[in-house]
Chain A
Amino acid sequence: MSDQPRPKVVSGAQPDVGHYEEFMAHAAHFLYRAYQECGELAEFDLFGAKHVLMAGADAQEAVYRAPDDRVSAAAPYQYMVPVFGEGIQYGAPLETERQQVRFMSDALRPKRMKTYAQVVAQEVEDFIADWGDEGVREFHDTFKDMVLRTSTHCLMGKEFRERLTDEFGVLFAQLEHAISPEAVVDFKSEADAFANRDEARARLQDMLMEAVNDRLAANARGEEPPTDMLQSFLDARYKDGSAMAHELIPGMIIWIMFGGFHTSSNTAAWCCVELARHPEYQRELIEEVDAIYGDGGDLSFTSLREMPVMEGFLNETLRLHPPLLTLMRQVVNEPFEYKGNSFEVGTNLVISPYVSHRLPEHFPDPEKFDPHRERPEHLFASIPFGGGKRKCVGNAFAFLQVKSILTALLSRYELSCVDPPESYAEVMPSLILRPSDPCNLRYTARTK
């Protein structure tokens, strides 16, 4: 035995399955317990696979700055390949995948973001137009509908958005079933969920391919190409000058939708829950909203990015309720060293925004919702979107979208809780942390 330091092992492992049952019951709470018991590095076991929670800004920085050939994102996320398709993301060679994310970054440049801001603002206005003076709504589902509209519009353009039916959302839900925690641990299982997933994926391929072909025909007729992500993906070129195979474009759309759909809609819902719980902060936000939007202002890209109060509020919501509670990497090629520990090849390194955002050294009194908190100096302390080269490329788009939704809402309504404030709990039916069902809130027209 070497005298190298080793991470402490989390208590409570069961024969054969390890910590699987507790992890499955509520992964966020399990990981938080792991950190409290073991500190910065906590080793646990899921069905024989070794996992190490890397908790803390320094540990996260070490993982996020490590190159792909040392810690791999592709290895632990192979279960996404049937969802996005062969040839896409981790179903493609690393150098292809790196270029595909560049296509996404290109589709999110300022010129395009300015157009998306207009699209989102219009969709949000239309969505709330018939809400009346007051009412109660289930905000989780409300924002799912809203984000589906805004996202498909920005991604696929006006024509696709106008033809959008409920089927698209249903198919998407079927695909998502494939990332339930069961699927993550045993993705080769023959469960019904996987048959459904493959069926839904095939149908989405047809629907999206039809839109791709329509666009290609419009381009061929010489029509002005619209500013949306579909066009951006069609125009994108790999380093060798080649375009993406058209059949892969639906996979790109599904991939970017997957990243942005529930994460954004959940975040919008959590923001509204926290607004309803904290009338004093809601008033501050309303003041800021009125200043930019009250007097004939618009929800432009430029005005939305100058909202410090809203930003503080959104950051604090993402701190306490990060939609993705684990981000995984796997050690590949050679052991990964951190502070004298050596993690052998095959070890899964787990980064948890949920845990990281509750470390008292960066966030004093961590359970307290405080939108006036100072942002930690450490670049890797706050990681709702991950970090480093593999940080969520849609992070600025997510902010734009949620700010646009909240600004439009608060310019018309005040929000309040229907149920006791503490009854809105964190639940995780999938790997995404969401507010408990039903997430009912009351909206009341503001007296101006």
Chain B
Amino acid sequence: MGVKTDLDLCQGHGMCEDTAPEVFRVVESQDGSYDHVELVIAEPDEGLREKIEEAVRFCPNRALSIEG
């Protein structure tokens, strides 16, 4: 399954990391502005789908989506 992140929308709240740390982590940005999400694994397997769906749902900025 593919996971997409939209960094124009991410403000580094970290709800995804809190919900599915296997898939998402929050990293510092180069310029000191908002931290932002980064994928720990590019193609997580189906076993993680439920957790990822939760992370997508809990993102306050709708910055995450699932593809496929």
Contacts of B14 in A (CB 8 A): 109-110
The reply to whether B32 and A102 form a contact with Cβ atoms under 8 Å apart is yes
Residue of B nearest to A97 (CB): B33
B-side interface residues, number (CB < 8 Å): 20
Distance in angstroms from A278 CB to nearest chain B CB is: 25
Distance in angstroms from A388 CB to nearest chain B CB is: 6
Tell which of A178-186, A250-258, A390-398 binds the partner: A390-398
Contacts of B18 in A (CB 8 A): 109-110
Q: CA A354 – CA B17 in complex, angstroms?
A: 33
Tell me, yes or no, whether A6 is within 8 Å of chain B by CB.
Answer: no
The reply to whether A396 and B33 form a contact with Cβ atoms under 8 Å apart is no
Contacts of B29 in A (CB 8 A): 102
Distance in angstroms from B12 CB to nearest chain A CB is: 5
List residues 48-68 of chain B with CB under 8 A from any CB of chain A. Answer: 58, 60-62
Q: CA A71 – CA B61 in complex, angstroms?
A: 21
Q: Give which listed residue, B17, B32, B33, B61, contacts A391 with CB less than 8 A.
A: B61
The reply to whether A305 and B31 form a contact with Cβ atoms under 8 Å apart is no
Distance in angstroms from A236 CB to nearest chain B CB is: 11
The reply to whether B9 and A388 form a contact with Cβ atoms under 8 Å apart is yes
Tell me, yes or no, whether B11 is within 8 Å of chain A by CB.
Answer: yes
The reply to whether B8 and A239 form a contact with Cβ atoms under 8 Å apart is no
Contacts of B12 in A (CB 8 A): 102, 105-106
Q: Give which listed residue, A99, A238, A389, A399, contacts B11 with CB less than 8 A.
A: A389
The reply to whether A102 and B8 form a contact with Cβ atoms under 8 Å apart is no
The reply to whether A395 and B60 form a contact with Cβ atoms under 8 Å apart is yes
The reply to whether A379 and B33 form a contact with Cβ atoms under 8 Å apart is no
The reply to whether B32 and A238 form a contact with Cβ atoms under 8 Å apart is yes
List residues 95-116 of chain A with CB under 8 A from any CB of chain B. Answer: 95, 98-99, 101-102, 105-106, 108-110
Contacts of A239 in B (CB 8 A): 31-32
Distance in angstroms from A437 CB to nearest chain B CB is: 32
Contact A101:B61 (CB < 8 A) given known A388-B8, A388-B9, A396-B13: no
Contacts of A106 in B (CB 8 A): 12, 35
Contact A98:B33 (CB < 8 A) given known A105-B11, A105-B13, A109-B14: yes
Residue of B nearest to A102 (CB): B34
Q: CA A370 – CA B33 in complex, angstroms?
A: 38
The reply to whether A95 and B31 form a contact with Cβ atoms under 8 Å apart is yes
The reply to whether A98 and B31 form a contact with Cβ atoms under 8 Å apart is yes
List residues 8-31 of chain B with CB under 8 A from any CB of chain A. Answer: 8-9, 11-15, 17-18, 29, 31
The reply to whether A396 and B60 form a contact with Cβ atoms under 8 Å apart is yes
Distance in angstroms from B19 CB to nearest chain A CB is: 9
Contacts of A158 in B (CB 8 A): none
Contacts of B32 in A (CB 8 A): 95, 98-99, 102, 238-239
Tell me, yes or no, whether A446 is within 8 Å of chain B by CB.
Answer: no
Residue of B nearest to A109 (CB): B14
The reply to whether B35 and A105 form a contact with Cβ atoms under 8 Å apart is yes
Contact A101:B31 (CB < 8 A) given known A108-B13, A396-B15: no
The reply to whether A379 and B35 form a contact with Cβ atoms under 8 Å apart is no
Q: Give which listed residue, A99, A109, A305, A379, contacts B13 with CB less than 8 A.
A: A109
Distance in angstroms from B33 CB to nearest chain A CB is: 4
**A293-335 vs B, Cβ < 8 Å mask (1 yes, 0 no):** 0000000000001000000000000000000000000000000
**A52-93 vs B, Cβ < 8 Å mask (1 yes, 0 no):** 000000000000110000000000000000000000000000
Contacts of B13 in A (CB 8 A): 105, 108-110, 396
The reply to whether A393 and B33 form a contact with Cβ atoms under 8 Å apart is no
The reply to whether B62 and A101 form a contact with Cβ atoms under 8 Å apart is no
Of B9, B11, B31, B34, most buried by chain A (CB within 10 Å of CB) is B11
Contacts of A389 in B (CB 8 A): 8-9, 11, 33-34
Contacts of A391 in B (CB 8 A): 9, 11, 61
Contacts of A108 in B (CB 8 A): 13
Q: CA A387 – CA B14 in complex, angstroms?
A: 18
| Interchain Cβ contacts under 8 Å between A and B, 8 examples | A95-B31, A101-B11, A102-B35, A109-B13, A238-B32, A379-B6, A379-B9, A389-B11
Chain B residues proximal to chain A, CB less than 8 Å? 6, 8-9, 11-15, 17-18, 29, 31-35, 58, 60-62
The 5 closest A-B pairs by CB, nearest first: A239-B32, A98-B33, A396-B60, A110-B18, A99-B32
